[in-house]
Structure 1
Amino acid sequence: MSIEPGAASPRDDAIRLLARREYSRAELVLRLSARSHSAAAIEACLDELNEQGLQSDARFAESFLRSRVARGQGPLKVRVELERRGIDRAQAAATLAAAEQAGEVDWFELAAEALSRRFIHPGDSPRERARRERFLAGRGFDYEQIRYALERLDHAD
């Protein structure tokens, strides 16, 4: 592979990206490919970065989970977003399970907090209740978490 004078290597580009935030391996492949690096050079570079602990899909998944919890997003949405960013299902499920077991996130309480921030009063009509349910479902909470949050808001008065 010949590198033009002044052109960055895949490693330089990857380090520059990773200095800003964590990236999944799949995201880095896309970004580095867009910069016209060869597939073989990208794979070799990412293997080396992984061995050196500079890139880790597990660390990316943990960081991503924390950022989405801070936004008030639920486990269903987080899992889908992780998979969209190249994290396999098993890794995504393991990350979510580890966060729950460590007590870092309580999805039921997070759903209740997200609902109470968005809606001050409980929905008096079936239409308003459905609106609140859609809000939480759109945030990625499951039925049980939604029901819990609605009950908490109903009893908050």
Structure 2
Amino acid sequence: MSHPKFTKLIDYEALKEQYGESDPSITQKELEKSSSGHFSQDHADPNALSFSSDNLKSDQGLTGTRLRSYAFAVLTRKEYSKADLIEKLAMYAQSRDEVIELVNELARENYQSDLRVAEMMLRSQVRKGKGPNRIKLALRSKSLDKTLIQDDLNEIDWYEQAYQLKIKKYGVKVEKDQKLKAKQIRFLQYRGFEMDVIMKAISRKEDEE
């Protein structure tokens, strides 16, 4: 449905101050808060948690058993996407190629899982009232393929999500004033909802299903 009075392009930087939110891409803190930690201490090397800053910042860098132990230490604290784990380990490793080989092995053994990270991010973003466009943006920021959770995205009732978000902020009244309606549209666009869903949500009457 086309609504020429309202722009379809979203200036996130301009809107984030208006709605008091952080950058639209998922932040490291959001991921840490939502992570419950897939790994237990049983999976890690006995020395995995013994790393100090001095050990990690050696001139030679980590390799072999020490690199593997550090990888487990990292993964016991929280989940990482494959891309983020590679960058994390490469900061302290002697060889980036060894890091990539190790991370690929950890992924094959299911110690690291992009699917788990994507599912975790989806749950976190939905709880925060984010729509599909913001969720896809968050996934892209972690180099995660949206197809990992495409089925989950398709199963969510985005219309209901948008409507509940609208009434929480603006109430159940169907706004007729064009300026106030435009404000609601911009808000839901910023949250990541599609225009057709937005128009249905802001036009829905209280007694409608």
Number of aligned pairs? Answer: 146
* One of 125, 132, 146 as aligned partner of 1:92: 146
3-state SS of paired residue (2:130): coil
The CA RMSD measured in Å over matched residues stands at 2.4
- Residue 92 of structure 1: CA displacement? 0.3
- Residue 72 of structure 1: CA displacement? 0.8
The structure 1 segments of at least 4 consecutive aligned residues displaced by more than 4 Å after TM superposition are 5-8
Asked if 1:149 corresponds to 2:206, the answer is no
CA 1:20–1:112 in structure 2 vs 1: closer, same or farther (change >3 Å)?
farther
Asked if 1:11 corresponds to 2:68, the answer is yes
- Residue 52 of structure 1: CA displacement? 1.2
- Maintained 8 Å contact 1:107/1:145: yes
Structure 1, unmatched stretches of 5+, are none
Q: Which moved more, 1:108-117 or 1:118-127?
A: 118-127
Structure 1 letter corresponding to 2:206: A
- Residue 144 of structure 1: CA displacement? 1.2
Q: State the TM-score, normalizing by the size of structure 1.
A: 0.80
- Maintained 8 Å contact 1:79/1:93: no
- Maintained 8 Å contact 2:82/2:103: yes
- Residue 47 of structure 1: CA displacement? 1.3
* One of 79, 90, 96 as aligned partner of 1:33: 90
Identity of aligned residues (%): 29
CA–CA distance in structure 2, aligned partners of residues 110 and 83 of structure 1: 22
- Maintained 8 Å contact 2:139/2:146: yes
Structure 2, unmatched stretches of 5+, are 1-53, 57-61
Asked if 1:125 corresponds to 2:125, the answer is no
CA–CA distance in structure 2, aligned partners of residues 84 and 122 of structure 1: 35
Higher helix fraction (1 or 2): 1
Q: State the TM-score, normalizing by the size of structure 2.
A: 0.62
- Maintained 8 Å contact 2:132/2:153: no
- Maintained 8 Å contact 2:103/2:112: yes
